[in-house]
Structure 1
Amino acid sequence: MQPSPPHRGSALGDQVADDLRRQIVTRQIEAGSTLVETRLAEIYQVSRGPVRDALRELATEGLVETSGRSVRVLGLTRDDIDELFRLRLAMEQMALTEAFGTRRPELLRLLRASITAMEAAVSAADPAAFTLADLTFHSAFGESSGLRRVQSVWNQYRGSISNLLLVANLDHLDLQPSLRKHQQLLVMIEDGNDSAALAELANHVDASRARVRNHYEDSAPSDPRP
């Protein structure tokens, strides 16, 4: 493990969950590994409470499973990736359709700010910053939709989706094509071409899914899960 020690600020359990999630999704912690609360508490220099909270959060995301005091890493299979991206598309299309109404000005404000952040990340050749701006762009759909339950589910899986995208983006130094796709989607929404925007969103998410799948298939060991 290569943990990032939590800092005192936001909830310690969330910080531990973020770091473990990153290591699981990027396969620094392999599927089939066993996680031990006491050992994790020592590694992260926290009490067992935040560790327990973190493991519970990861279990709800399907990244680990618990049996008594034993916690086993499940990781992500190719089918898991497909499911995550199908869920992502369903949520984004539902939220975007809702935001097309009276909430369009707020939607456009958030999207334009995200595009500015993407442009800066491309100029700096910073895939991590680009990934954050990418997720902020897509999170704007839920934030501006007013759909609380959609936003809640999106937030639950945002961490896993973000890490998957980062894994793929690290292998792509030329982020311009992705930036252009986001810019084109923004123009469609600005012009009120809603049906075209929804269709482009579907193509956009599927291309992202395929890129992440390809990365996993090229670099992953054989799947140890039954």
Structure 2
Amino acid sequence: MGGELVTIINPLRNPPLGDQLLVQLRSLIVRGELGVGTHLVEGRIAERFGVSRGPVRDALRQLEIEGLVETRKRGVFVRGLSDQDLLELYSLRGALESLAIRETIVRLESADWGQIDEALDQMRIAADPADPAKFAAADLDFHSGFYTLGGNRWLTATWALHRPLFAAVMEITNTDRELASVADDHVGLRDVVRSGDVDAALAALTAHLDGSCGRIRTTLSERPRPQPAF
């Protein structure tokens, strides 16, 4: 079991917002800097990040919803992100996005591809020079475009619940990749969806997500664990 909170990276600044805290804690857990079993003490996190206990409590509650931490009798502890977790997350994403693409193709005649095309432009901008965080955000904007085009607000809301975790994982993976070719892969996926061929689009999506999942699993398994932040 990991030790209690002892130190932290630079405190949040200008201003110490709860959403910034959540992003940092999520990233620390995904990167393994907060190891499985680490006891997350509200007061100590609040002190190290320079926030009140309210945002800490909210962040821990959200991380528990995402499955990254768990509440036990003695408090909240890091559960982490295992290889099996990644497989299950990508299985869920594949199911959600397959439905989004099916519904997008049904609406092809009235589809506005502005959001997806803008995301592709932002991916190219973030690829040169490489900006992993911005690239991951644009990447997910691209995929979110299919949910928007599909027009199913419940499906879109479900995807929105999981998007932040995918962003944290992809940002790490993108530091080790040539991003221009990744942007080109997304152009190919857009084009096959716009063709209206459902089977080809779903096959392309499956290959795309399988490749992404495989690279992320390899990257996370091979990365040396950094010194603990807490």
Indicate whether the TM-score tops 0.5: yes
**Which is worse superposed, 63-72 or 206-215?**
63-72
Equivalent residue number for residue 9 of structure 2: 2
Equivalent residue number for residue 51 of structure 1: 56
| Structure 1 residue identity aligned to 2:69 | V
The reply to whether residue 190 of structure 1 matches residue 197 of structure 2 is no
Among candidates 15, 18, 23, match of residue 23 of structure 2: 18
- CA contact under 8 A between 1:107 and 1:141: conserved in structure 2? no
Query: 1:111-150, aligned counterparts within 5 Å?
Result: 111-150=116-155
Instruction: Give SS of 1:100's match.
Output: helix
What stretches of structure 2 of length at least 5 have no aligned partner? 1-7, 226-230
Among candidates 174, 180, 195, match of residue 176 of structure 1: 180
Over residues 53-109 of structure 1, what are the superposed CA-to-partner deviations in whole Å (9 max), with x where a residue is unaligned? 110000011000012451100110100010111111111111111122236654522
- CA contact under 8 A between 1:24 and 1:30: conserved in structure 2? yes
Equivalent residue number for residue 217 of structure 1: 221
How much does 1:41 deviate? 1.1
Among candidates 185, 199, 205, match of residue 203 of structure 2: 199
- CA contact under 8 A between 1:26 and 1:167: conserved in structure 2? yes
CA distance in 1, matches of 2:165, 2:11: 17
Equivalent residue number for residue 163 of structure 2: 158
Paired residues, what number? 218
How much does 1:212 deviate? 0.5
Among candidates 26, 36, 39, match of residue 34 of structure 1: 39
Instruction: Give SS of 2:32's match.
Output: coil
Query: Structure 1 length normalisation: TM-score?
Result: 0.88
Identity score, percent:
37
Instruction: Give SS of 1:72's match.
Output: strand
Equivalent residue number for residue 114 of structure 2: 109
CA distance in 2, matches of 1:120, 1:200: 24
Equivalent residue number for residue 101 of structure 2: 96
Instruction: Give SS of 1:16's match.
Output: helix
Q: Against the structure 1 CA distance between its residues 4 and 121, is the aligned structure 2 distance closer, same or farther, given a 3 Å change threshold?
A: farther
- CA contact under 8 A between 1:107 and 1:140: conserved in structure 2? no
CA distance in 1, matches of 2:48, 2:167: 24
How much does 1:196 deviate? 1.1
Equivalent residue number for residue 79 of structure 1: 84
Q: Against the structure 1 CA distance between its residues 4 and 177, is the aligned structure 2 distance closer, same or farther, given a 3 Å change threshold?
A: farther
- CA contact under 8 A between 1:6 and 1:16: conserved in structure 2? no
- CA contact under 8 A between 1:115 and 1:137: conserved in structure 2? yes
Q: What is the aligned-residue RMSD (CA, Å)?
A: 2.0
